[in-house]
Homo-oligomer: A and B are copies of this chain.
Amino acid sequence: MTLNNQLLVALFGLGRAGKFQLESIRSNPGVSLIHVVDTDLEKAKAVANEFGCEYGRSVDEPLSNAGIDAAIIATPTGEHFGQIVASLNAGKAVFTEKPLGSGLEEIDTCFQLAREKRLPLFVGFNRRFDPSHSSLAQSVRGGEIGALQLVRITSRDSPLPRMDYIKTSGGIFHDCIVHDLDMIRFISQEDPIEVYSVGSNFIPEIQAFDDLDNVLVSLRFASGLLASIDVNRFASYGYDQRIEAFGEKGMLHSENRYPLSTVLSSEAGVSRPPIEFSFPSRYREAYHCELETFRKCVVKGIPLPITYEDVRMSFLLSDLAECSYREGRPMRVEG
């Protein structure tokens, strides 16, 4: 597709997600930024200056540039669906942040179009690419702990997101828990048969949005596997991201990471500086691996690691988990 396996990309959006995509692009010698798009033209221009690339307010120009292989979509949620469709129609491979659209139908549309166009549609479930999470998943699937009996995931955000973000986030099930549901399927390679959720609020503003800030999800699988996810919108001590997998032969953890490896022993005890504060630093390596994997999907034709089925199921399970909370009863998962 390109000389030397170099991937030539346009980046749409320079917000929160766009920023760490930029960082991944910068340090990946196999990816070149050709065009950057943002509604804030000054922002786009500054990036263009650094990267020696074009910039603008509209996606039309890069989509009609035959020299561009792929679009990286990091715009606000509401624009994803339209840009995915336009990009695929323009013959570009697509790397998009989730969600693809507003529901199962739009997800189906995107993947059907990608299939028709024979173009990679890569959905950003970044946590699968975290070296520690991914090593845990590989070990489980490789049988290192024998038959899998329990998976526990803790996901607590830090810092507390802005209320205007939360308001339009789609709610804690579709914004946060979808990642954990995907991770459990990624680790277990099995779909649950039942979902049950309880939730509560400690932050009144979030309750006012009819959203939750504290949720506990239980999952049951046909193999006997059980799973538990606990999610919170705010952990005072940092971005808390832990996985535990328990099996007949052992237990695996993927634990929190620390920016510093210093330890202080004093009269008060033995202490370390806080864990990673937020997702851009915690998942920096995951974002780098994710982009590099996308590059290989496009230029080397390796299969997409996240399939249509993955995207559909994580959406469906998030929906059922929310339903379970609202109806106060366990929900069966219908294939």
Residue of B nearest to A225 (CB): B200
A149 surroundings in chain B (CB, below 8 A): 200, 202, 214, 232
A contacts with B, residue count (CB < 8 A): 78
A220 and B236 contact, Cβ closer than 8 Å, known pairs A144-B264, A261-B257: no
Contact among B23, B262, B266 for A253, CB-based, below 8 A: B262
Contact pattern, A 246-288, Cβ under 8 Å of B = 1, otherwise 0? 1011111111111111111111111111110000000000000
A27 surroundings in chain B (CB, below 8 A): 23, 26-27
Q: Any chain B CB within 8 A of the CB of A107?
A: no
Smallest CB separation, A134 vs chain B (Å): 10
A198 and B201 contact, Cβ closer than 8 Å, known pairs A226-B230, A246-B232, A266-B249: no
Residue of B nearest to A237 (CB): B265
> Complex Cα distance A235/B251, Å?
8
Contact among B50, B230, B252, B273 for A135, CB-based, below 8 A: B273
B273 touches A272 (CB 8 A): no
Which residues 138-170 of A have a CB within 8 angstroms of B? 139, 144-145, 147, 149-150, 152, 154, 156
B267 touches A270 (CB 8 A): no
A256 touches B252 (CB 8 A): no
A226 and B248 contact, Cβ closer than 8 Å, known pairs A131-B259, A214-B150, A255-B262: no
Residue of B nearest to A271 (CB): B271
> Complex Cα distance A255/B218, Å?
23
Q: Which of A214, A252, A269 gathers the greatest number of chain B CB atoms within 10 Å? A: A269
A202 touches B271 (CB 8 A): no
Q: Any chain B CB within 8 A of the CB of A87?
A: no
Question: Which residue numbers of A lie inside 8 Å of B, CB to CB?
Answer: 4, 23, 26-27, 29, 49-50, 52, 131-132, 135-136, 139, 144-145, 147, 149-150, 152, 154, 156, 194, 196, 198-202, 214-216, 218, 220, 224-228, 230, 232, 234-238, 240, 246, 248-275, 328-330
29 contacts between A and B (CB under 8 A): A26-B29, A132-B260, A132-B262, A135-B260, A145-B266, A150-B216, A152-B152, A198-B218, A200-B226, A202-B224, A214-B224, A214-B226, A218-B228, A228-B230, A236-B248, A237-B265, A237-B266, A237-B270, A238-B265, A250-B264, A250-B265, A250-B266, A251-B266, A252-B264, A253-B262, A253-B263, A257-B261, A271-B271, A271-B272
Closest 7 A/B residue pairs (Cβ): A271-B271, A200-B224, A250-B266, A237-B265, A27-B27, A251-B265, A253-B263
